[in-house]
């Protein structure tokens, strides 16, 4: 079975170290809530705001989840310190989804998927299935990996420590205009490669991909 998705709009953001200017103060007015945001959540919120997609169903993909928060927990344990309740609360893959729901007052469908290098493919597959139920969906792939010791542990050639790609899609009966060929992108986690390939092949007319379920 195949489902065709039309990409209505797509945006991305990235940095080798840390993304700045994520407009948190304007997006999250509550200072206490803003202070609790993880790096993944900040990026996801920024992209959602950029696309003005607050009220849409959402599929979020993260290959590595909240590794920054998890590292801080492990470090606290290693140093016999008290684990921060906020770090503990924020240490799950579903953290960006929860903040999207809270900040955007989105009580609709929001889910998180993860499959390491296949994460973007999972996001597209789930998005395609859900496009049969919803008119438009917001699909996001985000990972922030800028924790201490990352450079020592990194054996995969990843140089982009923070990145996010978000797109609004809808199901269509039109023929595909973009064919995904499993292109590789040096310096990026494989978990986001399909999204980057889509961006690379965008046209000014219609952008339609076929997802096999």
**DSSP string of 12-25, one letter each residue:** EEEESS------HH
pTM of structure? 0.95
**Which residue segment(s) compose the domain that 14 sits in?**
2-212
Number of domains in the chain: 1
* pLDDT band for position 187 (cuts 50, 70, 90): very high
What the block records as the tokens of 20 is 């700045």
Distance of CA 153 to the CA centre of its chain: 22
- Per-residue pLDDT of 92-125, as tens digits, reads 999 999 999 999 999 999 999 999 999 999 999 9
Is residue 145 within 8 A of residue 68, CB to CB? The reply is yes
Give the mean pLDDT of 84-89: 90
CATH number at residue 107: 3.40.47.10
- Per-residue pLDDT of 122-169, as tens digits, reads 999 999 999 999 999 999 999 999 888 888 878 788 999 999 999 999
If you average pLDDT over every residue of the chain, what do you get? Answer: 95
**Model pLDDT, residue 153:** 78
Measure the CA–CA gap between 92 and 69, rounded to whole angstroms. Answer: 9
Characterise 127 by phi-psi region: left (phi > 0), alpha (psi -120 to 50), beta (else).
alpha
């Amino acid at each position: 079975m195949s489902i065709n998705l039309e990409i209505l709009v797509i945006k991305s953001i990235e940095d080798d170290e840390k993304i700045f200017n994520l407009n948190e103060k304007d997006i999250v007015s509550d200072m206490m809530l803003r202070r609790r945001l993880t790096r993944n959540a900040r990026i996801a919120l920024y992209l959602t705001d950029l696309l003005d997609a607050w009220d849409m169903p959402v599929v979020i993909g993260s290959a590595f989840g909240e590794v920054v928060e998890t590292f801080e927990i492990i470090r606290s344990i290693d140093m016999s310190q008290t684990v921060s309740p906020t770090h503990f609360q924020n240490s799950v893959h579903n953290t960006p989804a929860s903040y999207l729901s809270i900040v955007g007052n989105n009580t609709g469908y929001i889910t998180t998927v993860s499959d390491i290098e296949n994460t973007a493919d999972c996001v597209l597959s789930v998005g395609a299935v859900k496009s049969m139920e919803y008119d438009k969906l917001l699909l996001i792939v985000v990972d922030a990996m800028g924790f201490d010791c990352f450079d020592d542990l990194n054996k995969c050639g990843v140089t982009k420590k923070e990145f996010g790609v978000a797109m609004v899609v809808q199901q269509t009966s039109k023929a595909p205009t973009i064919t995904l060929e499993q292109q590789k992108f040096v310096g990026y986690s494989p978990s986001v490669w399909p999204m980057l390939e889509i961006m690379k092949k965008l046209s000014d007319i219609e952008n339609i991909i076929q997802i096999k379920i």
